[in-house]
Structure 1
Amino acid sequence: MQSYGNPSVSYDWWAGNSGVAKRSGLFIAAHTAHAGLIMFWAGAFTLFELARYDSVLPMGEQGLILLPHLASLGLGLDSNATIVNTEPYIAIAAFHLVSSAVLGAAGIWHTLRAPKDLSKAEGRAVKFHFEWDDPKKLTFILGHHLIFLGLGVIAFVEWALHHGIYDTAIGAVRIVEPNINLGMVWSYQTNFLSINSLEDIMGGHAVLAFILTIGGVWHIISSPFGVFKKILIYSGEAILSYSLAGIALMGFVTSIWCAQNTTIYPVEFYGEVLKLNFAFSPYFSDTVSVLNSNYTARAWLANTHFYLAFFFLQGHFWHALRSMGFNFNTVSQAFESMDSTKVT
């Protein structure tokens, strides 16, 4: 947290990041508990959507956002792309709920029993103690994150290769072998909305898995050098700003992709494509009438991703400026001085 040179600064109760800013052990506790909350939401909301799902109505017009994703994986569908077997959905929800309990318990354990500072820990845990101004240790930890992300992408590719995913072109679940072609992947950099081949999609994921895994190993065994070491700022505020920028980018890309692409977001599960409107602010709207004047799953997801990305971007600017030393208190002070000048 930016203290602007004041070593004894105190933060208000709502400044939650301040509690973990200089405590690597508590940072992991907060990290773990946050993951537990996400897991709990995913499991509980899956059961909630499953309880209100009506197989007679189009899935995309029922205000669902999780079931369409699971249905796209080819779980429990009949020949009409309708959910007829709910056991896989219940199993996935239960797995997330159990995982949330484990993660929540881990968060409590790290808060109450584990060292607040991992430099005082025993065994291999001490290797994950970090300081915000230590680029080598930060990239070491980043490398482990990238490897786990790579494993997740590999699992998705393997699922498509052995179980299959839903293909809207044929209206059925089928096995998909990745088209691993670097030229193809690169060609989609500027026209990703035109992707209409599941083989290309899974090929892109296979390439991404390789990049994440190799990148993870690279960051574990190396440290920043050259221009990266010179231009990047290494502090809690700066690292947070980088993370928020990445999330904002993914949110904007996802919102546009969800609004227009029907191969990755099949019409059967998400509803028809959307149109982009401009009023007080940009927003996506449905192009067809929906039951009970509701919104399609596509509209919910596209707009939610867009506006969350927008606010994440503002958070990026806020923390980036603070990391560079800009004191936002001077803004309010400037307005106060203007008011006092007018009074005199």
Structure 2
Amino acid sequence: MTEQPLLSNITFPCPASFLLTGIPGLGTMHAWLSLPFSSMYLLALLGNAALLAVVKVDTTLHQPMFLLLAALAATDLGLASSVAPGLLAILWLGPRSIPYAACLTQMFFVHALTAMESGVLLAMACDRAVAVGNPLRYPTLVTGARVGWVAMALGLRAVAIVVPFPLLVARFRHFRMRNVAHAYCEHMAVVELVAGNTRANNIYGLALSLAVSGVDVLGIAGSYGLIARTVLRLPTREARAKAFGTCSSHICVILAFYVPGLFSYLTHRFGRRTVPRPVHILLSNIYLLLPPSLNPLIYGARTKQIRDRLLSFFTPWKNQL
């Protein structure tokens, strides 16, 4: 009965590496879990690479809407690749060691790319709001150059707000253990190992989640509020359906990103005592891999220009008829 308190007081200097244990409690199911996660990663790689190739090759798609879609696809590729290879290695081979510096690097890229994706979705919502609300001035208000500046600004925002995460962890010199109960170096999962006052980490993590996601969600909601007001003023039902149809793909992508993210966040912050820890970790991995795998399917199926271009790649014989 006295061993646990004694063990909990043992600390050691900053380790050379951490041990990522994967999804605790589900070790017997790792082989089965690897099937959906490997499928999601394969879809993310092939789908987003195909979208990038289509937008690059087809000059008629060098428009703001599709340039933003290319930015989303590039972000999805980076996000999936920063998590999936390590996750699959754990599911196939068991717990794996990751160097301390590599752990902090992965932490930075995972959180930065998540913030970048949220920002790109906000930019796409604003783009649709201008296209629907002011179509005559859209070509002059939204240009390829301005999209490039917006993408650069979103990238700088993501870097600026996420850099403190690894820095706040790097300031600690003693840890209680080196086993990270997660499949990747998530910020709070690493902070739980720290021997010291982690109040600053907790406050910054909570404030960042509320600020970034909150601002982006409010911006998206405001954009679609303007879209809805404009569309409802259109005279015919067909015109309203066509206007809403131009935004349907983006709405599906927003739901695929924010709904799993919100559920994962709420269960992590407020359901620790009621929701088992394996469920937290499983949800966080699904949250990072589901949108990158679904987004290409959504845009490929619902955007006519992309669908037609993809079909022309796979059915070249049609062009010879």
Under a length normalisation based on structure 1, what TM-score does the superposition of the two structures give? 0.36
Q: Which protein is bigger by CA-based radius of gyration?
A: 1
Q: Which has the higher contact order (CA 8 A, sep 6+)?
A: 2
Indicate the structure with greater helix content: 2
So what's the TM-score if we normalise by structure 2?
0.37
